[in-house]
A and B are shown apart, each in its own frame.
Chain A
Amino acid sequence: MQHFYDGQIRRYITQMVRLLSNFSYADSKGNLTQIPVMYGDITRQVGAIIKDNSENKIPSAPRIGVYVTGMEMDRTRTADATYTGKVHLRERTYDENSNEYLNTQGSNYTVERLMPTPYMLNINCDIWSTNTEQKLQILEQILMLFNPSLEIQTTDNYVDWTSLSVVNLENINFSSRSIPMGVDTEIDVATLGFQTPIFISPPAKVKKLGVITNVIMSIFDETKGTIDLGQSMPELNAYDDSWGNSIKNKDADGRIHLQVTTASGYDAIVTNTIVQLGKNGISGEINWREVLESEPGEYAAGLSKIYLNRIDLAAPVVGTFALNNLDETQIIVNWDEDTIPTNTVLGLPNSPQKGTIDAIIDPTRVNPVNLKVAGTRILLLGDIGATANTDGADAWKDSSGNDTLVASENDIIEWSGTQWQIVFDSSTKNNPATDVTYTTNLTSGIQYKWDGTEWTLSFEGEYRKGSWRLVL
């Protein structure tokens, strides 16, 4: 076992010395003299030094000696030895430069404390006095304190649940001398016997604040008689634009199957690199600090992360973010490109192989004269050309003036240098399992996904509560 020592019993002894300190006695002239208190069980070396290395020097009086006479386990106070008490704390920010705490939130912690072991500590206090009057003065000042006991504290640390204890005066031996007195004139010692219930604690665990921020409950379905984890569990990571496939409160049949509760209770609306909070369909009105201040952890611009979970992605989309100081309803996210779906490489056998497009246009409204650069790719928002059409739109003819392009809505075409060629034919990509295609528009930086039916934003959109989270 690794060495561990926290001086716990030592602290009880020092507090006992403190408790008995600062008492005084008045001599016959009324002069007050403070009575020294020392630990009784001193080492031989220290004792020799105090006596100036002389066997002929006797200790002075009055004096109070404090020492431990015994310690036994207090079985009446034992409790579940495996119990771990947790306390969650948020510290104020500490300024290392000025060495002071600021009035803003700093690091967050969870402190785990294992059940301490209870003991009874027996301590004696010897009061040395040179005469009875002196002894009576000292005793009167001390004895009136115990009614019935006196509280002591070994620390003022908020997380130390063992620091508080009481001192009980159990017995009093008024004098060490025998009556009648013999020939010896030894120093009279009155002894007070104290007992204090104490705890001996193992080290605590100081961890990063760990509190539950998301609660996702499967609701018992009385029509089936079971909680269908096979149905509900995939939805824990689900996101889809459609209500039916998202983390939802109600199923298609109107019954509640899943209940999601988050600390913030807000949805996240992702638009390119901007994320806003939304509730009840309204976004852009909620200050992000409402979430950042309450989440466990300490927000750090550019280091804190946001995680987006989607049903169609095995891993979450992750990005580091910073609060927009000009508009705190927004955070600006720097998405980790490794977590964004990889663009699907497209291209004809004799053309460049790449996964990006350069523009999205409606071919019936835009003349692509400026786009006729070899390698330029366009996602079409409408059909263009027809086999039955003998003279199509001039803008979409090849360099020889022929109508070689017949493309449909959702196709991606590329200018080869002489003509437009289809590199993605949406009419043949209609299997949602195998034909999923990702491509990024270089003009806007937005990535799109072909799901077999339509192009949608690949990961941007509305994330309902429970499908996104922060790691500060």
Chain B
Amino acid sequence: MTPSVFRDYLVEMAILCVWQYALGCLVSGAGARSAGPIGLGAVVNTVVPDGEQPFSGLDDAPVEATVLRMMLGGQLRRLREAAGITPDRAGYEIRASRSKISRLETGRVGLKSRDVKDLLVLYGVTDELLVAKFLSLVRQSNTPDWWTKYSDILPDWFEPYLGFESAASTIRSFEIQFVPGLFQTEDYARAVTRMGRKAAPPGEIEERVRLRLSRQGLHTRPVPPRIWSVMDEAVLRRPVGGAAVMRAQLTHLTEAAAMPHVTLQVVPFSRGGHAAESGSFTVLRFEEHDLPDVVYVEQLTGAMYLDQRSDVEQYLEVVDELSGEALTPDATTGFIEQVARET
């Protein structure tokens, strides 16, 4: 195979995967399990035990709804590009902006059947059966997520993160100030939340703490994602919530580090300056071969979601370099215990 043929082949396999996924949802065929060489089967297999009909569990599995949204979005992008249509033109067709198209295509917002129907017509997809399958998948991708009940306190720029986090197979992060949310104790989470919202009523603070703790449910999944966090030593030294809260938090971190799906590493002050001039960030990776990594960078009033390979690669490089500079996971546990004794 020449490179271009190889590339075409990858794209073709990716499209085939979505359609096999589609077929699996509509026709309960066992053949849909072997969804080609690209890793779709892997994620599906983690939620569908042997002997059950494939894909039948989608209704009560928000994880798959997010993945499905991303895959359908990616498929819409490929169809649009194949038809030679610009994002502006596509946006015009569904009475939306160019950036709305981008959010649709990256799975950051839900898909509306009417929009998808219009886009498919624009992209020249006329086969009624295919359109019907696509729309059926769109309905499934709109299954309410577990965090819907927190919508009052959830900024709209944070909601996509929850979808990506719950769909990710690997979550890598670098933190310069706070313990990663997935490892915070309740008291530590409360202290952090209060810090940022001094005027908020107590009820809202508690709601935010509950949301943060709910995210930690992914630790107890049958197949949890791999969570690999690199922290600056400052994270361990800053006594958020006071010494007692911090000591308990540090003990909690050493317990977390013992979980098989968790890797924690600390970059000690003694290493001097390190590779992350960027500040804190998170890289979310998905099992599916054709879903790109997403980098999440949070700011005070919004967040950036980067999924262009050229952007993602710079963050990957930083996180790879930091992981190499940081203490090994074993040495990190000893280091955290030492800091706990000094706190």
Decide if A and B are genuine partners: no
Q: Which residues of B contact A (CB under 8 A)?
A: none
